[in-house]
Amino acid sequence: MLLYTVVCCIIYIIFIKLNLFLIAYKMLFQLLGFFLACSTLTVYAENTAVVNIQNNGTSNVSGLVYFNETSDGILITGTIKGLEPGLHGFHVHIYGDLSNGCLSTGAHFNPTNVSHGGPNDSVRHIGDLGNIEANKDGIATLNFTDKIITLSGANNIVGRGVVVHEGEDDLGKGDFEDSKTTGHALSRVGCGVIGTLTTSASATKWTLSSGLIFVILIIVNVAIGNMQ
């Protein structure tokens, strides 16, 4: 953001230099326009995180999963192998602790203390990412976006655990005693700790609106300049 504020300032100073004999109201107008244009810049850092999924000591589960910040949410990509074919619950759990295997990752990451749900439900744990599906070779290919988890702030998942379960997550809709807490996804066959892969503030984007405001400002200023 700082970098782009500096860029905005430089562009604007060049711009003001072109109209050296400004009267006060033009100056005010330009400053106002400058802050307006800068405030519409979309700023987000494209941070990425990674988790190395390991087996729980009895399974052959392994894999690498990436979490990428995008303007649509967190894009989750990767491959997990060694699974039984079919659906497997896939969650972010509270702790990034594997000292006692997958069990020490604790419960689902649920800072707001609500019921378990599916990734598209309005009521869900932050960590409820639903199911992943393994093919007949036991390989699950992940490629989906979640709008709730983040890589910073209150819903930050970095440093927490990821768990792959033996069974399907019923997304809180089953009749089992643990449907509302774990989705009855059965035991933990693989897990890992989410770590930072890259942090980048260089991904700040110019949006169409900020670009348009600059173009309009230039046109208006040229027009005012010609009026003198």
Residue closer to Zn ion by CB (options 88, 125) is 125
What gap in Å lies between CA 194 and CA 48, rounded to an integer? 10
Under 8 Å between Cβ of 164 and 53: yes
CB of 171 to Zn ion, least distance (A): 9
Q: Which stretch binds Zn ion (CB under 5 A): 96-104, 106-114, 142-150, 156-164?
A: 106-114
Question: Residue 39 region, left (φ>0) first, then alpha (ψ -120 to 50), else beta?
Answer: alpha
Residue 108 a catalytic site member: yes
Q: What are the beta bridge partners of residue 141?
A: 79
Do 7 and 191 meet the contact criterion of CB atoms below 8 Å apart? no
Residue ranges with strand state E in 30-156:
48-55, 62-70, 73-81, 86-93, 99-102, 128-134, 140-146
- In the chain, the amino acid numbered 168 is E
Identify the three-state secondary structure at position 35. helix
Residue 116 in contact with Zn ion, rule: CB under 5 A: yes
Contact, 35 vs 178, CB < 8 A?
no
Q: Is 91 one of the binding residues for Cu ion (CB under 5 A)? A: yes
The answer to whether residue 93 is catalytic is: yes
Give the range of 24-32, 35-43, 160-168, 208-216 binding Cu ion by CB under 5 A: 160-168
User: Is 88 a known active-site residue?
Assistant: no
Q: Please, which of residues 117-136 interact with Zn ion by CB under 5 A?
A: 125, 128
Phi-psi map region of 160: left, alpha, beta (phi>0 left; psi -120 to 50 alpha): beta
Among 163, 171, 189, 217, binds Cu ion (CB under 5 A): 163
Give the nearer residue to Cu ion in terms of CB position, either 126 or 163. Answer: 163
Using the rule CB under 5 A, is 108 a contact of Zn ion? yes
Chain residue whose CB lies nearest Cu ion: 91
| Among Zn ion, Cu ion, none, residue 80 binds (CB under 5-8 Å by kind) | none
* Choice between 82 and 183, CB closer to Zn ion: 183
Residues that bind Cu ion (CB under 5 A): 91, 163
Residues that bind Zn ion (CB under 5 A): 108, 116, 125, 128
